[in-house]
Amino acid sequence: MSLAPLHAPTPSSRRRPSRLRPLAALLALGLAGCNLAPTTRVPPLAVPTQIQPAFGSARATPAEVQWDEAARSPGLAWQSWVQDERLRQVLTQALTGNRDLQQAVLNVERARAVYGITRADQLPSVGLSAQGSRARTAADLSSSGRAVTQEQYSVQLGITAFELDFWGRVRNLSEASLQQVLAQGDTQQNVRLALLGDTTQAWLNLAADLHRLRLAEDTLAAREKAFRLTQRMHELGATSGLVLAQNQTTVDSARLDVAAYRTQIAKDRHALALLAGGPVPEAWLPTADDTLATTVSSLADVPGELPSTMLLRRPDVQAAEHRLRAMNANIGVARANFFPRISLTAAVGTASRSLSALFDGGNGTWSFAPGLSLPLFDGGANRANLRVAEVDRDLAVNAYDRAVQTAFKEVADALAERQSWQERLTASAALVSANQRALDLSNARFKAGTDDYLAVLDAQRSLYTAQQQHISLQLAEQLGRVALYKALGGDAVTDVVSSIQ
């Protein structure tokens, strides 16, 4: 450690404690300096006060928010949300093996380490140094005409270039770093929430495609059987070549669907393995016998109107707020750069020409070297840096508003979709039943000779289309539940309902 030259011990060195009092006062003043950062003002929610399924009935009054950290969402209670034990196992694997989530965790660890560095700058860096030297002066160079051997030993305890933070520059650097740590933590939670949703969606897509494949295979088998019968009837002259050709097209169409769904199922498995961080055991995968409607539990009943303040629970909104606070602290750093920067280097210790007398009385030493740096002319760099910090703050405000508005839209859209799901599923099931009855009647009329086989083919196609649409609608309903879970920030559904009740 490089220090200022030592002062030789004097009789007044015994009054060293009194000399250190100004140093202690300077340190205390530096640690308790003023703060030039502006007061952080998080803007009110730029959305209606209530989240409703329909935008038309919402009041366009901004919601004044009470910032209560204790009311924030504590975690993601997905275990009580997902009913299927196999899906729970897949989600557990994803939370431990997904590379994107691991990257987010490492980003948090790095931000914490950076914060540790900036926080350490707020305190003096105390070091201990010990030096010893021995030199021989030649007789020709010695004033006494004889060779002289000189020894010098010293031990010092001191601080080096500690900045007295009168203007809060170091404190605001630490605050900005802390807010970045918190923002990274919220970003990690957002990645975790997205991973839970994406993995659930991939699992549900695989389940739906397995249903579609079974439907296509059953349809292909039935159509091949009907084609063989029609081919035999054509050979006997009981039906036309047009009917035979039409029957052939239905067989080929079903065969194409079977091939397409087998390919899609392979892709679904690959996507699920990527999200889970590795191959998923076969026992954890869905089968064609599963019922889509029981895979994800019915979310807690959500009131007709939700307070917009619940959007603060979302990790992306919380991350945007912390970034805003970090940018606000950077303004304090930029303002402090206009003022003198005072640093302090000081040390106390002992020195002697003899190692054995190093700690004898009267050998004490001290050094005190304050420094001051005052910007006089910088070509406008400090003013430009302040403007950059202010624009960054304005950008963070805009990003915060954007995050809130996006959250509002996602929640409102999910609630609007959820309103009509039961009606749509009921209508879809009724459509499948109606098409099944139409097919049965067409077969009966064909066997009775009152209708040709083209009517049967049309009824088969209509039933197949209705069955496919019903599977797609069941999948969309489940994916809508996932979207609502993500939009509300995980377990915010339960928290909000409990708080309202």
Is the pLDDT at 441 greater than 70? The verdict is: yes
Q: What is the pLDDT of residue 38?
A: 81
Q: What is the pLDDT of residue 178?
A: 93
Average pLDDT over residues 312-332: 92
Q: What is the pLDDT of residue 390?
A: 95
Q: Domains for the chain: give ranges and CATH numbers.
A: 1-32+126-164+341-374 (2.20.200.10), 33-52+59-67+81-122+165-288+313-338+375-500 (1.20.1600.10)
Q: What is the pLDDT of residue 49?
A: 62
Is the pLDDT at 27 greater than 80? The verdict is: no
> 456 with 442: CB under 8 angstroms?
yes
Which tens digit of pLDDT belongs to each residue from 241-263?
888 898 899 999 999 999 999 99
Q: What is the pLDDT of residue 200?
A: 93
Query: Amino acid letter at 13?
Result: S
Q: What is the pLDDT of residue 298?
A: 54
Q: What is the pLDDT of residue 300?
A: 52
Average pLDDT over residues 158-164: 85
C-alpha to C-alpha distance for 234 and 244, rounded to whole angstroms: 7
Is the pLDDT at 8 greater than 50? The verdict is: no
Backbone dihedral region for residue 148 (phi beyond 0: left; psi -120 to 50: alpha; all else: beta): beta
> 407 with 311: CB under 8 angstroms?
yes
Q: What is the pLDDT of residue 83?
A: 81
Is the pLDDT at 24 greater than 50? The verdict is: yes
Q: What secondary structure letter does DSSP report for 288?
A: T
Q: Which has more confidence, 17 or 424? A: 424
Average pLDDT over residues 97-120: 92
Is the pLDDT at 72 greater than 70? The verdict is: no
Q: What is the pLDDT of residue 129?
A: 87
Is the pLDDT at 457 greater than 50? The verdict is: yes
Query: Amino acid letter at 423?
Result: E
Q: What is the pLDDT of residue 66?
A: 34
Is the pLDDT at 157 greater than 90? The verdict is: no
Is the pLDDT at 264 greater than 90? The verdict is: yes
Q: What is the pLDDT of residue 256?
A: 96
> 75 with 491: CB under 8 angstroms?
yes
Report the mean per-residue pLDDT for the chain.
82
**Confidence band (pLDDT; 50, 70, 90) for 21?**
low
C-alpha to C-alpha distance for 51 and 487, rounded to whole angstroms: 12
The separation between the first and the last C-alpha atoms of the chain, rounded to the nearest angstrom, is 64
Is the pLDDT at 183 greater than 90? The verdict is: yes
> 33 with 280: CB under 8 angstroms?
no
C-alpha to C-alpha distance for 331 and 114, rounded to whole angstroms: 19
Q: Which has more confidence, 412 or 361? A: 412
C-alpha to C-alpha distance for 339 and 344, rounded to whole angstroms: 16
**Confidence band (pLDDT; 50, 70, 90) for 368?**
confident
Average pLDDT over residues 176-181: 93
Is the pLDDT at 11 greater than 70? The verdict is: no
Q: Which has more confidence, 41 or 221? A: 221
Q: How many CB atoms lie within 10 A of CB 415?
A: 22
Q: Which has more confidence, 296 or 386? A: 386
Q: Which has more confidence, 301 or 238? A: 238
Which tens digit of pLDDT belongs to each residue from 393-417?
999 999 999 999 999 899 888 888 8
Proportion of the chain above pLDDT 90, given as a percent: 43
Is the pLDDT at 78 greater than 90? The verdict is: no
Q: Which has more confidence, 45 or 310? A: 310
Q: What secondary structure letter does DSSP report for 141?
A: G
Q: How many CB atoms lie within 10 A of CB 127?
A: 13
Is the pLDDT at 31 greater than 60? The verdict is: no
Q: What is the pLDDT of residue 265?
A: 97
Q: Which has more confidence, 82 or 388? A: 388
The distance between the two most distant Cα atoms of the chain, rounded to a whole number of Å, is 140
**Confidence band (pLDDT; 50, 70, 90) for 497?**
very low
Which tens digit of pLDDT belongs to each residue from 47-60?
666 665 543 443 33
Query: Amino acid letter at 6?
Result: L
